[in-house]
Chain A
Amino acid sequence: MEQGPIFSIQGAEFSYKGASSPAVKNVDLSVASGEWVALLGINGSGKSTLAKMMNALLIPTRGACFVMGMDTSDPELAAAIRQNVALVFQNPDDQIVASIVEEDVAFGPENLGLPSETIRARVDRALRLTGLSEMRRRGSYSLSGGQKQRLALAGALAMEPEALILDESTSMLDPEGRASFLNCLRELNARGITIVQITHRMEEVAHASRIVVARSGEVAWDGSPDFFWEEKCAGFGFDIPQELELLRSLRDGGFVPAGTKPAVHDLLEALCL
């Protein structure tokens, strides 16, 4: 594949029909292949609109968006773009298409016209990664909320995309499920898959290599996570994760030395009374 960025958004603006102001404006953003970008911002700041732009679901009303060099405004390229970029929403009801779990996961790969052996292998793998193997014959609509969310994720994984865009798609998983899904993302990212993750949960952001903050439709901040935690987190109205809050209080109280990592294990290890 080409070496250019996987996403290149250039002077993009998007206005919903009838809206008085654009949902996204003046966005220039380039994401290199293999990056893990956490996209943060308060409700209504334009994150989901940006995500849909990156998947050619929305076309910028001004400026342009390229996915692996393909212009999203070219309808002939939409299928190729979506084959490479999977987008998972928060509400799984929006994306479940088949009434049996394994058929739902197979739907995407089948549409790609892959050989049935390959499809089977992909479905098995996606179900295993999301912990749904035992539920493969269950009715999709008879799953619990978190199980449905896993199903939506499995459907995206089975597409084996170059990039995965997650729009709040782990919000209803239990803590263990969320941790194991993060592990799965880490594995994918290590194999070069680009990840764009929209979340309000600061503890999920820890794995990202880059943080982008959206505010009123614009990119308000773009930089490295370390700097973000030290300087910017509270400034944008985000909650600091409890581990970081602990670290700061312990450091201020002189209970741990400067430079201790914000993880329970490290904090206990470094504790001096």
Chain B
Amino acid sequence: MSIKAVNIKYIYNEGTPAAVTALDGISLEAERGEWVSVVGHTGSGKSTLAQHLNLLLTPSSGTVSIDGARVAPGSREARDARRKVGLVFQYPESQFFAETVREEIAFAPSNWGVGGAALDACVAEAASSAGLSPSMLGSNPFSLSGGERRRAAIASVLSMKPDYLVLDEPTAGLDASGVRGLTATFKDLCSKGMAVIHVTHDMEIAMSMSDRIAVLERGVLAVSGTPERVAEYLSERPVKGLVMPPSVRFAQGLREKGVRVPLASRVSGIIEALEEARSRRGR
């Protein structure tokens, strides 16, 4: 079971002088239970791709299929499929419409006929996963601080219980414990069988959480694969806008000194490799 975009091309304002080719032949697949990160420079097409996975945008050419079924935009299948895909927008707080956080979170499930105690439970669960305290449910979304609004927006997508969760820079503006908490929540949902497609500029998170990383450059897939493969590729050939996290740059330097270490190591892994190298040299 997977979500699969094949050879997507997308042109904004097609056929006008203002036409912009945002995606040019992108393919991407995420299986349930997988964490796939999408990284790339500002304007590389990440958000455009995210909106295709949610069927909000219709590709100029190419296809999107969900759980094996190709979804033609506007069809009944598309509507059903869309329920399986939750999208948290890049600036989600621009999308609030309800008077209270509770209504905001309850919106999708209550539209699908969930009500009464089941709805309350669903709202409470989504809020707690997103790290919102129950006391905030009665607040007006616009009276929350920036980080709290973001949690409310994430909760309103989690309440849909999606099989595929598409997150467009979900942790920008969150403090360190918020980032850690939400990342752990996403990883947990992922291990329970949800796919996470994570658009981010945070290479540290991408390197440490992903099963696979897709790197976009000017609307084209520069490289995709495991964090290790992507780190290897990027250390040979830099891609516009991306800077590898310190641990990867340090590991590259170690390799040049003859220390064998995976590029996608955490700090603890680097220290282990160094200790091993030291004991080998000591002998």
User: Which chain A residues border B223 with CB–CB below 8 Å?
Assistant: none
Question: Do residues B271 and A43 form an inter-chain contact, with CB atoms below 8 A?
Answer: no
Give the CA-CA distance A172 to B147 in the complex, in Å.
14
Which of A145, A172, A246 is most buried by chain B, counting CB atoms within 10 A of its CB? Answer: A145
User: Which chain A residues border B245 with CB–CB below 8 Å?
Assistant: 242
Question: Do residues B176 and A200 form an inter-chain contact, with CB atoms below 8 A?
Answer: yes
Question: Do residues B281 and A273 form an inter-chain contact, with CB atoms below 8 A?
Answer: yes
Question: Do residues A268 and B253 form an inter-chain contact, with CB atoms below 8 A?
Answer: yes
User: Which chain A residues border B249 with CB–CB below 8 Å?
Assistant: 264
Give the CA-CA distance A171 to B203 in the complex, in Å.
14
Residue of B nearest to A273 (CB): B278
Q: Is A243 located at the chain interface by the 8 A CB criterion?
A: yes
Residue of A nearest to B199 (CB): A145
Question: Do residues A273 and B274 form an inter-chain contact, with CB atoms below 8 A?
Answer: yes
Q: Is B41 located at the chain interface by the 8 A CB criterion?
A: yes
Question: Do residues A246 and B275 form an inter-chain contact, with CB atoms below 8 A?
Answer: no
Complex interface bits, B165-179 against A, C-beta within 8 A gives 1, otherwise 0: 000110011111111
Question: Do residues B176 and A237 form an inter-chain contact, with CB atoms below 8 A?
Answer: yes
Q: Which of B42, B148, B179, B253 contacts A144 (CB 8 A)?
A: B42
Complex interface bits, A173-189 against B, C-beta within 8 A gives 1, otherwise 0: 11111110000000000
User: Which chain B residues border A226 with CB–CB below 8 Å?
Assistant: none
Give the Cβ gap from A127 to chain B, nearest Cβ, in Å: 15
Which of B42, B172, B253, B274 is most buried by chain A, counting CB atoms within 10 A of its CB? Answer: B42
Q: Is A107 located at the chain interface by the 8 A CB criterion?
A: no
List the one stretch of B28-36, B75-83, B86-94, B154-162 in contact with chain A. B86-94
Number of A residues, CB within 8 Å of B: 47
Q: Is B111 located at the chain interface by the 8 A CB criterion?
A: no
Give the Cβ gap from A51 to chain B, nearest Cβ, in Å: 11
User: Which chain B residues border A177 with CB–CB below 8 Å?
Assistant: 41-42, 241
Give the Cβ gap from A134 to chain B, nearest Cβ, in Å: 11
Q: Which of A44, A174, A271 contacts B40 (CB 8 A)?
A: A174
User: Which chain A residues border B18 with CB–CB below 8 Å?
Assistant: 138-139, 142
Q: Is B103 located at the chain interface by the 8 A CB criterion?
A: no
Complex interface bits, B19-63 against A, C-beta within 8 A gives 1, otherwise 0: 010000000000000000000111100010000000000000000
Q: Is B233 located at the chain interface by the 8 A CB criterion?
A: no
Residue of A nearest to B280 (CB): A273
Give the Cβ gap from A246 to chain B, nearest Cβ, in Å: 6
Question: Do residues A179 and B42 form an inter-chain contact, with CB atoms below 8 A?
Answer: no
Given that A142-B12, A273-B277 are contacting pairs, would A249 and B268 also be in contact in the complex, using a CB cutoff of 8 Å?
yes
Given that A43-B148, A171-B173, A176-B243 are contacting pairs, would A146 and B277 also be in contact in the complex, using a CB cutoff of 8 Å?
no
User: Which chain A residues border B275 with CB–CB below 8 Å?
Assistant: 253
Question: Do residues B243 and A172 form an inter-chain contact, with CB atoms below 8 A?
Answer: no
Number of B residues, CB within 8 Å of A: 54
Give the CA-CA distance A248 to B200 in the complex, in Å.
27
Give the Cβ gap from B247 to chain A, nearest Cβ, in Å: 6
Q: Is A95 located at the chain interface by the 8 A CB criterion?
A: no
Q: Is A229 located at the chain interface by the 8 A CB criterion?
A: no
Q: Which of A41, A144, A171, A268 contacts B172 (CB 8 A)?
A: A171
Q: Which of B93, B178, B243, B246 contacts A246 (CB 8 A)?
A: B246
Q: Is A150 located at the chain interface by the 8 A CB criterion?
A: yes
Q: Is B122 located at the chain interface by the 8 A CB criterion?
A: no
User: Which chain B residues border A250 with CB–CB below 8 Å?
Assistant: 271, 274
Give the CA-CA distance A214 to B274 in the complex, in Å.
39
Given that A168-B146, A174-B42, A176-B240 are contacting pairs, would A245 and B267 also be in contact in the complex, using a CB cutoff of 8 Å?
yes
Give the Cβ gap from B180 to chain A, nearest Cβ, in Å: 8
User: Which chain B residues border A146 with CB–CB below 8 Å?
Assistant: 42-43, 201
Give the A-binding residues of B (Cβ under 8 A).
12-13, 18, 20, 40-43, 47, 90-91, 93-94, 143, 145-148, 168-169, 172-180, 201, 203-204, 240-243, 245-247, 249-250, 253-254, 257, 259, 267-268, 270-271, 274-275, 277-278, 281
What are 12 A-B contacts defined by CB distance under 8 Å?
A90-B172, A143-B43, A145-B168, A174-B201, A175-B201, A179-B243, A200-B173, A238-B176, A242-B267, A243-B246, A267-B250, A268-B254
Extra contacts besides A145-B168, A246-B267, A268-B250 (7): CB < 8 Å: A147-B43, A172-B169, A175-B201, A177-B42, A200-B176, A273-B257, A273-B277
Give the B-binding residues of A (Cβ under 8 A).
16, 41-44, 48, 90-91, 93, 138-139, 142-147, 150, 168, 171-179, 200, 202, 237-239, 241-243, 245-246, 249-250, 253, 255, 264, 267-268, 271, 273
Q: Which 4 A-B pairs have the closest CB atoms?
A: A43-B147, A146-B42, A175-B243, A174-B241
